[in-house]
Amino acid sequence: MAGPALGRSRAIDHLRNLVILGLILFHTARLFDTEPWHIKDAGRYAAADVLIGVFNIGQMPLLFFLAGITAMHSLAAREAGRYVRERLQRLGLPLVAGILLVVPPQVYVERLAAGLDGRASPIDLAPGTGFLDFYPGFFDCCYPAANFSWHHLWFLAYLLVYALVLLPVFVIARRPGPRALLERAGARVAAAGPAALLAPGLPVLLGGWFALSPALGAAAERHCRLLLIIAAVATALAVTAWMTGALPVPVLRRSLRVAGEWATILGLLGWAGRRLAAPIPGLSDVTRFAFPFYIVHQTVIVVSGYLLLGWSGQPLVKYLVIVLVSGLVSWGLARALAATALTRLLFGIKSERPGMTPGRSQTSRSI
């Protein structure tokens, strides 16, 4: 049993790594889409809207779902009190550190981009204002009317709240009676086929159920091709409806989105179980640095966009260059943050244990 369990844990790590790395593609596209953001290119492009729409369907719900799986696995190896302390240290402290250290440069760059159209908070700094001069004003609340914000770190705050609020449910679910009931329920849902797996619900909670029911994981692997086809069709229809207003009835638009979200989540989980369970050079190495990569990546994109948007008139060239620069700089910063005890503490990074190899799963330490 240890082998399959390790393979599932490794597959979850690898899938999470891919999703977090994919955020570079997503947030760089926000520089070019038609919606307001922190900083914008002079042009607006439908291709960016399509990319944003596709990523929006399953990206963050999948991360929340994986967090539910991770929470349930974590509770298998530690008591509830230790789990709470670790969540506060691994999520709460990085949230505070990120708000104080990582978000202010984003807001500062927004304020430097005087007169640039499309900014979510079009407030300009006086000419010649340096970052240290700006920093005390960062605490003027609240964005977008003022400066103070958590920006992309909202995910950490939500994840921390879900982890603590759902803790009693997860603890009860691990007891023999409730666990057996959930395993039987999971087996029945799996036997009903992939359509039954598309029911909407809270991703973190259902991620915990998924972790307790091997039958659900096996069903997702068995039906992953069909689920991914459903995901592609539902996502295409949902994005088309969003961009064109073709479905004026809200419940129909929401139904398409729900189908796309859950087919994406379960299809990718099944695909990961089949394709990502073995050590993968390069991708396995990302696991330890995925969390700090997430924390810094959007600030790097905003700063890179500010510096590079005027460099070329070709939007695709600018997009690809900013993706490359932001990915490399974010990776370098993530590794640098893991280099000292203080930065590891502030940004939720565990020290690498002696003998830990890149292929070994570290699911219990990830977000």
pLDDT of res. 153 = 96
Give the range of the structural domain holding residue 346, as residue numbers without chain letter: 2-365
| 18 Cβ contact list (under 8 Å, min separation 6) | 283
Q: Tokens 């992953």 correspond to what residue?
A: 224
CA distance 338 to 333: 9
Specify whether the CB–CB gap between 326 and 308 falls below 8 A: no
| pLDDT value at residue 197 | 41
Quote the tokens at residue 65. 């779902």
State the total domains in the chain.
Answer: 1
H or E element at residue 227: helix 224-244
- At residue 81, the pLDDT reads 84
Q: Check residue 198 and give its pLDDT.
A: 39
Tens digit of pLDDT per residue, the chain (367 long)?
A: 345 555 568 899 999 999 999 999 999 999 999 999 999 998 899 999 999 999 999 888 899 888 888 887 777 777 878 888 888 999 999 999 999 999 999 999 999 987 788 899 989 998 889 999 999 999 999 999 999 999 999 999 998 988 888 777 767 766 655 555 555 554 554 454 444 443 434 566 667 667 767 777 888 899 999 999 999 999 999 999 888 887 777 778 888 888 898 899 999 999 999 999 899 999 999 999 999 999 999 999 999 999 998 877 789 999 999 999 999 999 999 999 999 999 999 999 988 765 554 444 444 444 5
CA 194 to each of CA 66, 152, 168, 233: distance values in angstroms, whole numbers, following the listed order: 19, 33, 29, 15
* pLDDT for position 194: 44
Residues 6+ apart with CB under 8 A from 48: 29, 30, 31, 32, 33, 34, 319
pLDDT at 134: 95
Residue 354's pLDDT is what? 54
Backbone angles phi, psi at 119, to 5 degrees: -70, 140
Q: How many CA atoms lie within 13 A of 301 on its CB side?
A: 29
Nearest to 139 by CA among 107, 179, 111, 114: 107
In terms of Cβ atoms closer than 10 Å to its own Cβ (0-12, 13-18, 19+), residue 111 is: buried
Give CA angle at 331 (31, 45), nearest 5°: 15
Burial class (CB within 10 angstroms; exposed 0-12, middle 13-18, buried 19+) of 183:
middle
| Residue 105: predicted pLDDT | 96
